Amino acid sequence: MTDERKMEDTEMDHILSRKDEIVPSSGFAVSVMEAVRQEAAAPPPIAFPWKRALPGLLLAGLAIIAVIVGGTAVFIQASRAVSAANMPVAPAPLVVTGSQNGPVMWTGLAVLIAFVSFKFSMRLAGGRG
Amino acid sequence: MSASDDQAAVERVLAGDISAFEEIVRRWQGPLVNLAYRFCRDRGRSEEMAQEAFLRAYRGLAKWRKEAAFSTWLFALATNFYRSELRRIPAHTVSIDDVREPVDPRASDGGLEDHDRDRAVRRAVSTLPDKYREAMILFYFHEMDVPAAARSLGLPEGTFKARLFRGREMLRGKIPQLLAVPRLKEA
């Protein structure tokens, strides 16, 4: 480190170390304590209702798994159909033709999930089924 | 009030005596407000930030593990909050180009007064990138105590020193004339 740089560093330390302090306003501590007392008086935050939410979360998880598994199965089935027909067609349109009952089944499942989720949320919100 | 007084006050608060927290506030209000002021350079905002830091300390008192001094824990908590607060709403800073400088800073008859020069250097610090600015603020707040400043920032000392070094380099590049000039009143 050169002498010039050392002098600059010393100068920088001198300037930035110089006391540049402010005094908290007279009511600061009182104001903090007021906020602390309000905090202490406030009711504790409501805990997340895990017991009530757990069935719903499990159901949602199962539904997601079912959709993934079902989707994969349909995709594989469609791919096989394409291979069998030896046609270079994208699998998406064949999903529909893969099974005649497929769309009906999925629609029914979607309606069922929507109904269950509606009833469950009504029960959570109003405390009645 | 000593470190053991801090601990006693904390234990009373944890036992349900909220008024004991006032001892902590009165003891540390000056340092916490001043640390906030060094971050934001705004008196009103520094008090608001310090108040929120105290509230967070109150909420988290049980998390103080007593391995380090209460002040170390408190400064680390406050520093962490001030940093995130300043990132959320940055302090009003003036571009280094707007800092008034003398035509010939070495001139003994018309240069910057010490006060102006100090202000210019502090403004230059405020224009540094966050991580270097924070290192410099904490270094001088802790009266050039590297371990204390590093603890407040939650950094290893080596990392802190590297940031400090880089910050000083950048500052030197921003205000070469101001640092090179001998202080006028002494000249």
Q: What is the DSSP string of B144-167?
A: T-HHHHHHHHT--HHHHHHHHHHH
CA distances from A91 to A72, A81, A98, A126 (A): 12, 9, 10, 46
What is the chain B residue with the closest CA to A27?
B47
Q: Which two tokens stand for residue B84?
A: 């995130």
Identify which of A13, A15, A33 has the shortest CB distance to residue B25: A33
Q: What is the pLDDT of residue B15?
A: 94
Q: Which two tokens stand for residue B168?
A: 């000083």
| Residue-averaged pLDDT of chain A | 82
Residues of chain B with pLDDT under 50: 96-111, 183-187
Whether the pLDDT of residue A97 is over 70: the answer is: no
**Cβ–Cβ contacts within 10 Å for residue B159, how many?**
14
Q: What is the pLDDT of residue B182?
A: 53
Q: Does A23 touch chain B (CB under 8 A)?
A: yes
What is the chain B residue with the closest CA to A17?
B140
Q: Compute the distance between CA of residue B155 and CA of residue B161 in angstroms, rounded to an integer.
A: 10
Identify which of A9, A24, A33 has the shortest CB distance to residue B22: A33
Backbone region of residue A79 per phi and psi (left: phi > 0; alpha: psi in -120 to 50; beta: other values)? alpha
Q: Which two tokens stand for residue A47?
A: 């805990």
> Looking at residues A67-78, what average pLDDT do you find?
89
Q: Cβ(B120)–Cβ(B154) under 8 Å?
A: no
Beta-strand (E) ranges in chain B?
none
Q: Does A10 touch chain B (CB under 8 A)?
A: no
- Report chain A residues whose CB lies below 8 A from the CB of B19: 33
- Report chain A residues whose CB lies below 8 A from the CB of B125: 16
CB B180 to CB A4 under 8 A? yes
- Looking at per-residue pLDDT, the higher value among B124 and A1 belongs to B124
Q: Is the pTM of this model over 0.90?
A: no
Q: Compute the distance between CA of residue B15 and CA of residue B4 in angstroms, rounded to an integer.
A: 16
Q: What is the pLDDT of residue B184?
A: 46
- ipTM tops the 0.90 cut: no
